[in-house]
Amino acid sequence: MRIVVTVKYVPDINTERGFEDCRVVRSPAEGTLNELDENALEAALQLVEAAGQGEVVALTVAAPDGDVALRKAFQMGVTRGVRVSDDALAGSDYFGTAAALAAAVRKLEEESPVDLVITGMAALDGLGSVVPVLLAAELGRPALHLAKKLAVSGGTVTVVREADDVTEELSAPLPAVVSVTDTANRPRFPNFKLIMAARTREIEAWTAADLGLDPATVGAAGARTQTVSAAPRPPRPETQLVTDKGDGGVALAEFLLRNDLV
Amino acid sequence: MTNRTILVLLDPATEVRTGVLELLTIARGLGRVEAVSLESPTVEALAQLGAYGVGTVRQAELPPALHGDERHLPAVVAAALAAAVRRADADVVLLPTSFANKEAAALAAHHLGAGLIIDAAAVSEDDDRRVVGSKRVFAGSWDTACAVTTDVAVITVRANAVVPAAAEAAVEPVVEGFAVQVPELPVTLVSRTVKPRTSGRPSLEEAAVVVAGGRGTGGDFGPVEDLADALGAAVGASRDAVFEGWWDAYIGQTGVTIAPRVYIGAGISGAPHHRGGMQAAQVIVAVNSDPEAPIFEICDFAVVGDLADVLPQAAAEIRKHKG
Ligand SMILES: Cc1cc2nc3c(=O)[nH]c(=O)nc-3n(C[C@H](O)[C@H](O)[C@H](O)COP(=O)(O)OP(=O)(O)OC[C@H]3O[C@@H](n4cnc5c(N)ncnc54)[C@H](O)[C@@H]3O)c2cc1C
Ligand SMILES: Nc1ncnc2c1ncn2[C@@H]1O[C@H](COP(=O)(O)O)[C@@H](O)[C@H]1O
């Protein structure tokens, strides 16, 4: 079982996040592995462990700071990390990102087959939830998006997904692309040995040229959308705080009525 | 007004939900509006579409080999949208935001080489006549605007983006069929079940008012439901409350993302994951027994108190007012 897990380097949701020149600020102080990709890593590690053999490769498209995300993947037990970095990729939209990820998966395929690509359900910076599907489309593989349960047997992958009040069971032949939700599993905590090993593990850095990507189709040059403005919201007016002394509910109702919210 | 053509996905076809009426309202501000449907619209649906200015309903004729529920698969919806855009020579496709529609939108944009915007709160046109989608990001702390630089734009729009308004003059919609080729589906749909909509309450995704309960309910959602029903609101929960089995749908970054007029959180601490899914609400109210609860930082109005006392009293007061 050989699995590629795509991991994104994103600003920590517990910090002040923002934009500069219409691009998300990604600073090493606040940058981290997209938390939802931990579920993807966990799913991949479990499948390889169950198979008793194989490899999990963590793959990111990011500036060199993105190594933070790969190191976290190593800490969970991943043994190989690939980062695709290139100035030509800066400013990529969903399609450019998916194209770069797909090209990297294809390059990995040249070495030996990749049975599964597993992704997180969404990147917590943009909350798009579309890269997994676009990556599958680029690779010409079936997409099983938002898996809450995932099983592989006899060359078939089966998932259960729950979204928008609908529960579906889907299956597809391998190789496939699967995204897993935050409820699919509980990501493991890294142990001391893995944390130590993660420090020295080598990260392979690939460029757009290594992947044969046409610079005109990726990055800002190939983007089909362009962020034209980004502004912080004005601070909310101070909270009106009422302590319940027996009439807190009346105060709440009055607030709603006074503001025409009923 | 321009000579642009905007396609709005009628989802579902049997009932025109508020979310779709909102999209039709937005679409009329951009150009000529048409609807795309994967099923045959009912007479009531057609009348409502006409009232909102839809002159043409494009109804997908799917290959007979497709099994019943497969028409809901995003790959099929995407194929229909792409075919409809080509047929109508449309410039913009609007879909109500949902996980399934994001997937369909992405695939349709992939087929069409179109620009894609997810979760827009407003759609407009800039000085260069480009379509611009605005959205609120980073848990409601930033406003961004994104211009589409390709000929076609595919945009999912979140609920409560506008107040739905009928057209000045109603029209009589014409239903026009169009053939859709669906390439062999790479994914097999083994089973599909739809959760029945809760009796009488609006859906969490679309509701203008939402009352949400968290771990602080201790498992008793009675007070939350009571206030919700007094307000005609939807009921939601935190993820922890859902994990406990106390409610079935949670609000947040990985659950349902909402932007209602009013959000009332009771017994919810306001973790970043939760905030990410509700901080775009216009008015935020919280009831929490801990005066230091983080949710208070983002509230307009808050009561420090026990929700089991505060919510029923508020509900009674509102019922009294409504008479
Ligand atoms: C990857 C990931 C994704 C997540 N996604 C989501 C998500 O989408 N949505 C989500 O909600 N969570 C999500 N979570 C969980 C989130 O981090 C929090 O754990 C969760 O939101 C907390 O739920 P809560 O506020 O109900 O519980 P708590 O944090 O335990 O808060 C309970 C609150 O109730 C108050 N309280 C107690 N008793 C009373 C009373 N009688 N009256 C009034 N107040 C009372 C307490 O003071 C406290 O503030 C996610 C977590 C992870 C790791
Ligand atoms: N730049 C990236 N590098 C690696 N993986 C990514 C990148 N962007 C998105 N992904 C993957 O796609 C998933 C969904 O992202 P999104 O569609 O952007 O919400 C994430 O959880 C990641 O697994």
pTM for the model: 0.93
pLDDT band at B2 (very low <50, low <70, confident <90, very high): low
- Taking CA–CA distances from B102, the nearest residue in chain A reads A130
How many Å apart are CA A164 and CA B194, to the nearest integer?
9
Q: How far is the CA of A172 from the centre of ligand 1 (A)?
A: 36
> What are B255's two structure tokens?
């659950």
CB contact under 8 A, B300 and A17: no
**The predicted structure's pLDDT at residue B60:** 95
Spell out the SS3 assignment of B282-322. Answer: CEEEEEECCCCCHHHHHCCEEEECCHHHHHHHHHHHHHHHH
The rounded mean pLDDT for chain B is 94
CA A121 to CA A150: how far, in whole Å? Answer: 13
The residue among B208, B233, A252 whose CA lies nearest residue B224 is B233
Q: Is the pLDDT of residue B69 over 70?
A: yes
Per-residue pLDDT at B28 exceeds 90: yes
Cα B235 to chain centroid distance, Å, stands at 16
* Pairing status of strand A225-232 against strand B142-148: antiparallel
> Tokens at residue A190, please?
């890294």
Instruction: Output the CA B272–ligand 1 centroid distance in Å.
Output: 9
- Residue A8 half-sphere exposure, CB side, CA atoms within 13 Å? 27
- Cβ–Cβ pairs < 8 A, chains A and B: 252
Question: Among B110, B152, B239, B292, which would you mutate to test the A interface (most chain A Cβ atoms within 10 Å of its Cβ)?
Answer: B110
3-state secondary structure chain A: CEEEEECCEEECCCCCCCEECCEECCCCCCEEECHHHHHHHHHHHHHHHHHCCCEEEEEEECCHHHHHHHHHHHHHCCCEEEEECCHHHCCCCHHHHHHHHHHHHHHHHHHCCCCEEEEECCCCCCCCCCHHHHHHHHHCCCEEEEEEEEEEECCEEEEEEEECCEEEEEEEECCEEEEECCCCCCCCCCCHHHHHHHHHCCEEEECCCCCCCCCCCCHHHHCCEEEEEEEECCCCCCCEEEECCCCHHHHHHHHHHHCCCC
Residues of chain A where predicted confidence (pLDDT) is lower than 50: none
Output the CA torsion sign for A163, B237, A151, A198.
positive
- Answer positive or negative: Cα dihedral of B88, B93, B99, B103: positive
Q: A228–B287: do the CB atoms touch at under 8 Å?
A: no
Q: Any residues with CB less than 8 A from the CB of A207 and at least 6 apart, and which?
A: A84, A85, A86
**Among A170-174, B13-17, B265-269, which stretch is predicted with the lowest mean pLDDT?**
B13-17
Partner residues linked to A5 by β-bridges = A58, A118
Minimum-distance ligand to the CA of B221?
1
Beta-strand pair A116-120/A80-84: unpaired
Please tell me the number of the ligand nearest to residue A143's CA: 2
Query: Can you name the residues that pair with B176 across neighbouring β-strands?
Result: B58
Q: Do B139 and A13 touch (CB under 8 A)?
A: yes
pLDDT tens digit sequence for B120-141: 999 999 999 999 999 988 888 8
Distance CA A26, CA A15 (A): 11
Residue B186 preceded by cis peptide, ω within 30: no
**β pairing state of B283-288 and B262-266:** parallel
Which residues, numbered 153 to 212 in chain A, qualify as contacts with chain B under a Cβ-Cβ cut-off of 8 Å? 158, 163-172, 181-183
**Most A CBs within 10 Å: which of B15, B92, B137, as the mutation test of the A interface?**
B137
Q: Which residue among B99, B227, B240 has the greatest number of ligand 1 atoms within 8 angstroms of its CB, and so is best to mutate?
A: B240
Chain B residues with CB-CB distance to A123 below 8 A: none
Q: How far apart are CA B130 and CA B121, in angstroms?
A: 17
Which protein residues touch ligand 2 with a CB less than 6 Å away? Answer: A 6-8, 34, 36-37, 40, 60-62, 97, 101, 119-120, 122-123, 126-132
C-alpha span between B81 and B210 (Å, rounded)? 32
Q: Nearest residue of A to residue B270 by CA position?
A: A14
> B136, B143, B303: best mutation site toward chain A, by most A Cβ within 10 Å?
B303
Band (pLDDT 50/70/90 cuts) for residue B15 is: confident
Q: Which CATH number fits domain B4-179: 3.40.50.2300, 3.40.50.300, 1.10.357.10, 3.40.50.620?
A: 3.40.50.620
Partner B contacted by A4 (CB < 8 A): no
Q: Please answer whether residues B311 and B227 qualify as being in contact, where contact means their C-beta atoms are separated by less than 8 angstroms.
A: yes
Model confidence pLDDT, tens digit, residues B299-318: 999 999 999 999 999 999 99
For residues B85-94, b (16+ Cβ closer than 10 Å) or e, as one string? bebbebbbbb
CA-angle at B124, arms to B152 and B144, nearest 5°: 95
CA-closest candidate to residue B159, choices B21, B304, B2: B21
Alpha carbon of A130 to ligand 1 centroid (Å): 27
CB contact under 8 A, A248 and B253: no
Q: Are A39 and A180 contacting, i.e. CB atoms less than 8 angstroms apart? A: yes
Look up the CATH superfamily of A2-222: HUPs (3.40.50.620)
The annotation status of B32 as a binding-site residue, yes or no, is no
Q: For residue A4, give the ligand nearest its CA.
A: 2
My answer on whether omega of the bond before B12 falls inside 30° of 0, hence cis, is: yes
Answer whether A250 sits within 8 Å of B195, measured CB to CB. Answer: no
The CATH code belonging to domain B209-322 is 3.40.50.1220
Closest among B227, B254, B256 to B97, alpha carbons compared: B256
- Is B270 marked as binding a ligand? yes
* Dihedral of the alpha carbons of A250, A254, A256, A258, in degrees to the nearest 10: 180
Question: What pLDDT, on a 0 to 100 scale, did the predictor assign at position B198?
Answer: 63
Contacting B residues, span 241-280, partner chain A, CB-CB under 8 Å: 249, 253-254, 257, 261-262, 272-273, 276
Q: What pLDDT, on a 0 to 100 scale, did the predictor assign at position B197?
A: 73
In this prediction, residue A22 carries a pLDDT of 86
This complex has an ipTM of 0.93
User: Are B4-179 and B209-322 equal in CATH topology?
Assistant: yes
B187 CB neighbours in chain A (<8 A) are 142-144, 170-172
For residue B236, the CA-to-ligand 1 centroid distance in Å is 12
| B139 to chain A: closest CA residue | A13
Minimal CA separation from A31 to chain B, in Å:
14
**Cβ contact A228–B187 (<8 Å):** no
- The total of other beta-carbon atoms located within 10 Å of residue B127's CB is 5
CA of A215 to the centre of ligand 2 (A): 20
- Say if residues A225 and A100 touch (Cβ distance below 8 Å): no
Residue-range domain boundaries for chain B:
4-179, 209-322
Query: What percentage of chain B exceeds 90 in pLDDT?
Result: 83
Residue B277 marked ligand-binding: no
Give pLDDT tens digits for B159-176: 888 999 999 999 999 999
